[in-house]
Amino acid sequence: MGTTMNESESGAKSSASLFFKTENAWPTLPDAERDSVFAFCEDYRRFLSKVKTEREAHSEGVALAEAHGFLSLDDAIATGTRLKPGDKVYAGVADKTLLLAVIGHEDIEQGMRIVGGHTDSPRLDLKPRPLYEDSGLVLIDTHYYGGIKKYQWVTIPLALHGVITRKGGERINVCIGESPEDPVFVITDLLPHLGKNQGEKKLNEGITGEELNALFGSIPAADTDEKEKVKLNILRLLHERYGIDECDFTSAELELVPAGAARDLGFDRSMLLGYGHDDRVSAYTGIRALLDLPDIPKTTAMCILTDKEEIGSVGATGMYSFLFENVAAEIVNLCRSDYSDLILRRCLKHSKMLSADVNALHDPDFADVSSPHNNMAQMNCGLVVTKYVGSKGKSGSNDARSEYIAELREIFDTAGVSWQTGEIGKVDQGGGGTIAFMLARYGMDVVDCGVGVLSMHAPWEVVGKLDVYMAYKGYQAFYRA
């Protein structure tokens, strides 16, 4: 967290002003702000409980934006609406990725202040032909998405979220397993009594990707000579409920995710246990900070909620595509009557970005992988600024420049935002990547900046409420700078 620069009466620096300590920010938090932390995190808990896929994040984001007076960029383009300071627009990309902007006082050529997070999370996607019958049971075959530890996904209740698009374009939304009266799905594991061989395997090999098959049904159809009687019964039920046949799964995007709501964690309710904090905690704090802006910002503020980060940001809805540049071009065009490629390039070059993504927190149970000497982020110590990510000597990292981090220190300290530094574990332990380097291609300053997480990429991840609130506060201070 930030230091306050008090000098003692004698003129000598006090030790408190000389040291930079990572400190738990709860004890120094004013009472009024303590209430704000809990209130904000209750909003976030509800959002996280409801939004479990990138499509759900998109539709919830659009609903929030429209409720706050944002206009669709497509509508603005169609009607030739010019954008002026204070105007608010949103642009959706294929119902998955969402960009929102509040036009600032400065000319758009001077750049934007961007907070970008992702809304996809590790999960189990259904294969194009998911249903099969074996030994009198119907199971669904999955192909996992993102980096998961497979053994964590067995014997927990799973919900099915997603869409089925039929020939002709009719889209059916699916969400089964979130209401208390809904059925859920589960991947079984071996009983310990027969687990001798499995137990001798390496942890990462105990459950394989092809063993991630979820139980889906077990009642056979009675009135048939069909060999797959249980599957026939399931297909009949699916047809009754959704009007689909088996082939419709080939044009579906269905995801198995942990079922149930995010919960307060700890006797003091200081933490949140939820699915998909990585990276919906950045998405939610980033969009709320934008929606709650108290006045028109100096610089145009943009929030990006992107898809596909967990599999390398590729595809038309990922940040490696031109989606950001395309939307920026439309905004520049609506802000300036003399649009040119050069003005767009200048806008992009002059922009500044917080790559809003989670980082690992120090976990006392696994202390040996932490970066030592206060270089690992800790819970309740605030927003984590991560100068570089990458692996094997920072490879693949954006590595933000010192001048930019100095600017952020100023912004956060002035706004009373608790912040700390972070690294993804100790040197050569592993590593990771974010969208930071993709935006840095335009020459803009980018740094990774987000909330610390325990059990990252597990079905249920942990964050500290104070850190979530500090992300909201920090992102808003950044938009307003």
> Which residue ranges make up the site for Mn ion (CB under 5 A)?
278-279, 357
> 2 or 450, CB closer to Mn ion?
450
> 54 or 357, CB closer to Mn ion?
357
CB of 381 to Mn ion, least distance (A): 20
> 233 or 317, CB closer to Mn ion?
317
**Beta-carbon neighbour count of residue 9 at 10 Å?**
6
> 71 or 311, CB closer to Mn ion?
311
> 230 or 281, CB closer to Mn ion?
281
CB of 120 to Mn ion, least distance (A): 9
> 311 or 415, CB closer to Mn ion?
311
CB of 319 to Mn ion, least distance (A): 12
> 357 or 445, CB closer to Mn ion?
357
> 61 or 130, CB closer to Mn ion?
61
> 332 or 356, CB closer to Mn ion?
356
> 89 or 424, CB closer to Mn ion?
424
CB of 358 to Mn ion, least distance (A): 5
Taking phi over 0 as left and psi of -120 to 50 as alpha, with beta for the rest, 156 belongs to beta
SS3 readout for the chain: CCCCCCECCCCCECHHHHCCCCCCCCCCCCHHHHHHHHHHHHHHHHHHHHCCCHHHHHHHHHHHHHHCCCEEHHHHHHHCCCCCCCCEEEEEECCCEEEEEECCCCCHHHCEEEEEEECCCCEEEEEEEEEEEECCEEEEEEEEECCCCHHHHCCCCEEEEEEEECCCCCEEEEEECCCCCCCCEEECCCCHHHCHHHHCCCHHHCCCHHHCEEEEECCCCCCCCCCCHHHHHHHHHHHHHHCCCHHHHHHEEEEEEECCCCEEECCCCCEEEECCHHHHHHHHHHHHHHHCCCCCCCCEEEEEEECCHHHCCCCCCCCCCCHHHHHHHHHHHHHCCCCCHHHHHHHHHHCEEEECCCEEECCHHHHHHCCCCCCCECCCCCEEEECCCEECCCECCCCCCHHHHHHHHHHHHHHCCCEEECCCCCCCCCEECCCHHHHHCCCCEEEEEECEEECCCCCCEEEEHHHHHHHHHHHHHHHHC
CB of 149 to Mn ion, least distance (A): 13
Q: What are phi and psi of 410, to 5 degrees?
A: -60, -50
CB of 142 to Mn ion, least distance (A): 18
CB of 455 to Mn ion, least distance (A): 12
CB of 197 to Mn ion, least distance (A): 32
Q: Which residue, judged by CB position, is nearest to Mn ion in the bound state? A: 279
CB of 96 to Mn ion, least distance (A): 16
CB of 116 to Mn ion, least distance (A): 11
